Every structure is written in C-alpha cells, then in structure tokens.
Amino acid sequence: MFSSLYPITFVLSLAALSGWFYFRDDEQRSDFLRKLFLGSFTAFGVSWLMAEGQWAYKFPMLLREMLVLGALPVLLSVFRKNKWAYLVALLGVLTGLRAFYFEKLKSSFPQATVAEQKTAATSTPTDLDPNGELLIEIREGAQLADIQSVLGKYGLVALPAFKPNDATATDLDDYFVVDVPAVQDFAKVKKELAELAAVEWLEENEQMTLSPMELEQMKTTPVANKKYGINDPGLGNLWGFDAMKMDELYTILKDKKPAKRALIAILDTGVDANHEDLKANFTSTKSGYDSDRAGHGTHCAGIAAAVSNNGVGVASFSQTNDYVQVTSVKVLSDGGSGTQQSIINGMLEAADRGADVLSLSLGGLSSDSRQRAYQKALDYANKKGCIVVVAAGNANRNAKDFVPANVDGVITVSAVDTLLGRASFSNMVPDVKMGIAAPGVKIYSTMPGSVYATMNGTSMATPYVAGLLGLMKSLKPDLNTKEAYDILNETGAETKNTRETGRLIQPGAAVRGL
C-alpha cells in the first residue's frame, strides 16, 4: 500500500507546492494549497518511511524527489507574471512527469509483500545492473512499440542503451536497456522478451568490479640514469624497463620521428589530469573524467604515458613525449564498479573522440555464451581506427571465460612477475586469439595528488601494452589490430610460462618490426 501511495502523494505534493508558490499573494487560495501540500507531503513522507527497502537505497530515492520538488516550482516562477502561461507551463510539467518520471516513481519500491520480494529476488542474478538488468536489440525495421506488450504487462521501462555518434557504422543504436524490478520473475520476463519477433538479441547487463589489489606507496630514490638517458627519479623502481629492454627502444627512437601524436584512452575510474607527471601529456575528453578518487585509472595512465625526462616521477615509452598523449573516459565508479552498458558507451565515446588505442583494465566472468554488444562496440572502434587492449583478469583462470577479454578482436594482456613467470593471480591466455604479456607485479606509477605507488594486476600490464601500441600508431597511423598483434607476438620474448602468458612485449624489437 505504501509503495502505491509513494508516486501519487509525490505528484500531489509537487502540484500543491507549485500552486502555493503561484498564489502566495492570494490569502484564501494560498492557505488551501499550503494545507494541501502539507497533508500530501506528510503522506508522501509516511509512504517513503514505511515502504520496503534498505536505507542505503531509500535515502538516494528521497534525495532524487527532493531535488525535483525544490527545482520545478522555482523554474515555473519564470511564468508567474502571466497566469495562463504559468498554468500552461504547470500542465506541461505535470504531463511530462506523468510521461517520463511517473513510471520511475512507481518502480521506486516493490509492490509486493516481503515474502514475495524474497522469492522473486532469487530469480534475478546479483551480478547484474540493478537499474537496468537486460540489454535488448530490436530487429531492423522494428520499433520499441513492438515489444510494448511484454513491457506493459510487467510495468517495465526501456530506454536507449548506447550513444554512437555515427549510427551508420553500427546497429548499437537499436539496443535498449530494460529495468526489471526485483518484484518481477526475472527468468520469465527474460524468456517472454526473447520470444518476441521484434527482438533480435537479448543479453544481461552485467556488472564489473575491479579486483582488490595490493597498494604500496614508495619513496623515489634518485638513481643513475645513464642507461636510459633521462632524469626521472623513479626509474629505479621500474623493473619492467629492464625486462622490456627499454634502453633499446630509446636508442631506436633517436632516429625516428612520429607521423602523428597518437591518443591513448584510459577507460577506467577517471584520471587525475593535474598530476605532475601526467598533465603535460594529458588531453581532456570531458571535465568529469579528469579526476580519480579511486586511483586505479591514474595508475594505469602513468604506465601508458607518464611524462619522461621531466625530473619527477616515472617515465614511459619515449624520451621526448612527442609520440603519444593520454585521455580519460570514466566508465567505472569511484568504487571501481561499472556495467556492460557503461563500458560499451565508454568504448563508443573514446572511438568517437578519435582515440588510437583503447586501454581497458577491467572485466568479469562472462555468464552469457557470447557478448554480442561488446563485439559490436569492438567492431565500431576498429572502424574508427582504434586498437582495443583488455586485461586478461586476476582470477588465476582461463581468460576465455572473462569478458571483454574473450571478445574476438581485442588484444588480451596477462601479467608476469619479476622473475618473468606468470603472476600467481593472472588469468591465462592460451585460448584467446590474441594473448600477450607485460609486467604486472610491483608496478610503480602515478596516483592522484601527484604521488606514486606500486600495484599488482593484469590492470597494470594492460597499459604497458597500450602505451607501446600508441607509440607504434604514432609511427604508423594506419596500423591495425592484427598487424600490431603479429608484430608484438613475433618480436616478444619467451617467459617461464609462455603458453599460459603469451610472449612478453619487447618495445624496441616491436618498433623495428614496423
């Protein structure tokens, strides 16, 4: 009952408050509307208080409604001097709320008993986005209205899932995300939607969470850099430079000039754009992506494209910094979680931004037999000239069972340790088509606030490969994924477990291979 009252009392409170705001100089009407607002708002508060749900969920819902309740009357005040204009505007706002917001209000809280909720909730996988569990592709020529029979039956809302700039290059614009409240039988809803003639494909919108990683802050001790010819004090902590023979690369680059400055996009938790060892190589995609409370994205950015030879921090794949620049596309929350939908939209955004390399240090177990939307996003990125690099995963399992590591056309990166064996946590890559290895243990790199720390993970190995590919694209802009992987594989070094890890990248040899 309280769940049903929630949307009704909210809309009534909004209408009464708007009227009270308009008629505040009319004592009789103002008094009536004030009482109506106080009564309906009290009922709204009671319905919110008594509705089923955890407080961690209920408080954000209340904040959402308070923002609307506070903003719309102020917005309508623009029309207060003209009675009819105000009434038309109010009617328009209420109609808009009814069309676009009322269903969200109705689904804020389950409409069933606690027992029914517990029974139904067990049918919904817990690793799906709770605000949009399903991704549906509509057949060419079909319309959203063609699946309304099932949506309406269960009170579901479908919204466009993906936003490619170039709709002619993909059919991802035919995808919709559907929120299935826990009160519904998830398996039944999924089955009925999949059986509709208008539905081309249906898959689950899975959540991704970064694996916990060891974090250790370290002080940089200046070391002699004659081997590399650069003055970054943190070089003594970069054991991977020796393993990858970075001095050979630096020697080779002295005789080469870039054809372009390639762009590496870090799809992650954001990047600290003002970091002392990144800002000279950083270009912004969107201001909201230029900070990083988690630190994961900033760490990856430093591995791929830290500013070399600037007297601070660490270094990357060139001494002169003329070859690559780095940008951020935030696809994971500050807590390190994201969804299939958020990651794919990030891939599209980075490709539309003109990125040459997409670096994805993320992933999770694949519950579907295949992820068609990921494949379409990869194809879109390839059409735009991007090479996509993905972490193999940190579960000590086969990467073929993880997504997007198992998507056909990505370069999948495993991690090796300081002894050049497969890192104990690293997934194996013998059953993915393009597996390669890079250092992934005790990796020293940038962290938010112009500090530095070590991390472990295939997350750290991935931007090493992305940074090298960015360098290669700067020298040969038309380099495609297959050509790039063949070079990395043919020029790579053996590890202690090459079949499990793939070959270890050797940057100098790879550049010669161009």
pLDDT by residue for the chain (514 residues), tens digit each?
445 677 788 778 877 877 777 677 777 877 888 888 888 889 888 887 876 555 555 677 778 778 877 777 777 666 666 767 777 776 777 676 666 555 556 555 543 333 333 333 334 455 888 889 999 999 988 999 999 999 998 899 999 999 999 999 999 999 999 999 876 788 899 999 999 999 999 999 988 877 655 566 665 555 556 688 899 999 989 999 999 999 999 999 998 999 999 999 999 999 999 999 999 999 999 999 999 999 999 999 999 999 999 999 999 999 899 999 999 999 999 888 899 999 999 999 999 999 999 999 999 887 665 678 999 999 999 999 999 999 999 999 999 999 999 999 999 999 999 999 999 999 999 999 999 999 999 999 999 999 999 999 999 999 999 999 999 999 999 999 999 999 999 999 999 999 999 999 999 999 999 9
Cα separations in angstroms, 291 against 279, 333, 448: 12, 12, 8
| pLDDT for the residue numbered 359 | 98
**How is residue 472 written in tokens?**
């290669």
Q: Helices 2-22 and 55-76 meet at what angle, rounded to 10?
A: 20
- Residues assigned a catalytic role: 268, 296, 459
Identify the three-state secondary structure at position 88: helix
Distance from C-alpha of 453 to C-alpha of 442, rounded to nearest angstrom: 9
**How is residue 84 written in tokens?**
């009819």
Which amino acid is it at 215?
L
Domain covering 114-205 in this structure, CATH number = 3.30.70
Q: Which long-range contacts (CB under 8 A, 24 or more apart) does 352-355 make?
A: 352/164, 352/165, 352/166, 352/384, 353/263, 353/265, 353/285, 353/327, 353/329, 354/263, 354/384, 355/263, 355/264, 355/265, 355/327, 355/386
Tokens 């990248």 correspond to: 505
Q: Is 187 exposed, middle or buried (0-12, 13-18, 19+ CB in 10 A)?
A: exposed
Tokens 């700067």 correspond to: 474
Please, how many CA atoms are within 13 Å of residue 377, restricted to the half-sphere of its CB? 25
Distance from C-alpha of 20 to C-alpha of 31, rounded to nearest angstrom: 8
Distance from C-alpha of 306 to C-alpha of 68, rounded to nearest angstrom: 43
Identify the three-state secondary structure at position 325: strand
Q: What are phi and psi of 238, to 5 degrees?
A: -95, 75
Which ranges of 101-207 does DSSP label H, i.e. alpha helix? 102-106, 114-121, 148-154, 186-194
Give this prediction's pTM: 0.75
Cα 358 off chain centre by: 12
Architecture of domain 258-513: 3-Layer(aba) Sandwich (3.40)
Counted residue by residue, the chain has a size of: 514
**How is residue 97 written in tokens?**
């709320």
